[in-house]
Amino acid sequence: MAKQSRANGYMKKQLVVNQKGGIGKTTLCRQQTFYTHELGYRVLAADLDPQGNFTRTMLQVRERNGLPPAGEVMTAAHLFMETPPDLPLLWCDDGLALLPSTPELLDIPTLGLQVIGRPRKILEHIESRNQFDFMITDIGPARLAMMKAILQAVDFVVCPFDIDQDAIDGLHTLMHDIREAQTVLGNPTLKMLGGLASLINTDRVFEVRSVEELKQAMGDIIIPPVLYDRAATKYAKDYPVWQSSKGISKSKAATEMRNVCEYLLTRMMEQ
């Protein structure tokens, strides 16, 4: 059993999303999972990206903990099935389980709109059996129905973006999708935690200035702490960046990542 009791009595489900790739979504999921679990919360890591990078990280955590190879377990693709098989969760540590990415995720778009409603129901079932405090969900570029289904099921959304028009457009598209989830899809309490400026290069005046301009233009939508491009963050694939052992950027990288994780945790705990 992890140390802390449940955070306000329900599993707070967070989705990290932007249709643009390579902007730090998986990095944030990894580090937030480490951060939240280190604080003693019970965490469900969910990897809805067929690339499976988040899964590989969590499987390394599991291996480091000396746990044997797992048999058949509940996977992220099962969230989209009408009646998923009754399988155990994949535990990676005390109080840390994973819904792993599998190749079946690639088939979900073929199921069409019928997947809407399924993740919500299946997560309720998981929640009723396991007292998780948080679900941290990673997703890659997703087709429409899959995106609608997951936005209907989660409570919070974070949208990393870099200084690139495609990523900023992705943030605007998401705002529209969130409004639809709140109204048409029946998830009125879905909350946008915000756009997270990510991979910002401190040597480029233009990038740093653009973040400030976006904060001015979009106000509350942009999360105050920023994730700068740091070598230590790039290398910290399967351990917390605040445990990095070398490199000049490590203390800045650690502080910036912890600030973001703390900010997001605080916002979710307020609800």
Ligand X SMILES: Nc1ncnc2c1ncn2[C@@H]1O[C@H](COP(=O)(O)OP(=O)(O)O)[C@@H](O)[C@H]1O
State which of residues 14, 19, 26, 187 lies at the interface with ligand X (CB under 6 A). 26
State which of residues 14, 18, 19, 26 lies at the interface with Mg ion (CB under 5 A). 26
Q: How is residue 196 annotated by DSSP?
A: E
Specify the pairing of strand 96-99 against strand 90-93.
antiparallel
Size of the site for Mg ion (CB under 5 A): 2
Stretch that binds ligand X, among 80-88, 142-150, 174-182, 222-230 (CB under 6 A): 222-230
Would you report the helix, strand and coil content of the chain in percent, each value rounded to 5? Answer: 50, 15, 40
Q: Are 36 and 29 in contact (CB under 8 A)?
A: no
How many CA atoms lie within 13 Å of 82's alpha carbon, on the beta-carbon side? Answer: 4
Binder of residue 37, out of Mg ion, ligand X, none (CB less than 5 to 8 A by kind): none
170 binds ligand X per the rule CB under 6 A: no
211: which residues sit within 8 A by CB, 6+ positions away? 163, 197, 200, 222, 226
Binder of residue 75, out of Mg ion, ligand X, none (CB less than 5 to 8 A by kind): none
Binder of residue 31, out of Mg ion, ligand X, none (CB less than 5 to 8 A by kind): none
Terminus-to-terminus CA distance in the chain, angstroms? 24
Phi-psi group of 8: left, alpha or beta (phi > 0 → left; psi -120 to 50 → alpha; rest → beta): left
Stretch that binds ligand X, among 32-40, 55-63, 144-152, 230-238 (CB under 6 A): 230-238
55 binds ligand X per the rule CB under 6 A: no
Q: What is the dihedral of CA 138, 144, 148, 150, to 10 degrees?
A: -20
- CB nearer to ligand X: give 147 or 227: 227
State which of residues 23, 76, 181, 214 lies at the interface with ligand X (CB under 6 A). 23
Any idea which residue has 């109080």 for tokens? Answer: 95
User: What is the Cα–Cα distance from 183 to 187, expressed in whole angstroms?
Assistant: 7
State which of residues 12, 13, 191, 230 lies at the interface with ligand X (CB under 6 A). 230
- CB nearer to ligand X: give 7 or 197: 197
199 binds ligand X per the rule CB under 6 A: yes
Tell me the residue type at 127: E
> Mapping DSSP to helix (H, G, I), strand (E, B) and coil, where does residue 89 land?
coil
Alpha carbon 67 to chain centroid, angstroms:
24
78 binds ligand X per the rule CB under 6 A: no
Site string for ligand X, 234-263 (x = CB under 6 A): x-----------------------------
Q: How is residue 200 annotated by DSSP?
A: B
- CB nearer to Mg ion: give 98 or 116: 98
- CB nearer to ligand X: give 148 or 230: 230
152 binds Mg ion per the rule CB under 5 A: no
Residues that bind Mg ion (CB under 5 A): 25-26
Residues that bind ligand X (CB under 6 A): 21-27, 53, 198-199, 227, 229-230, 233-234
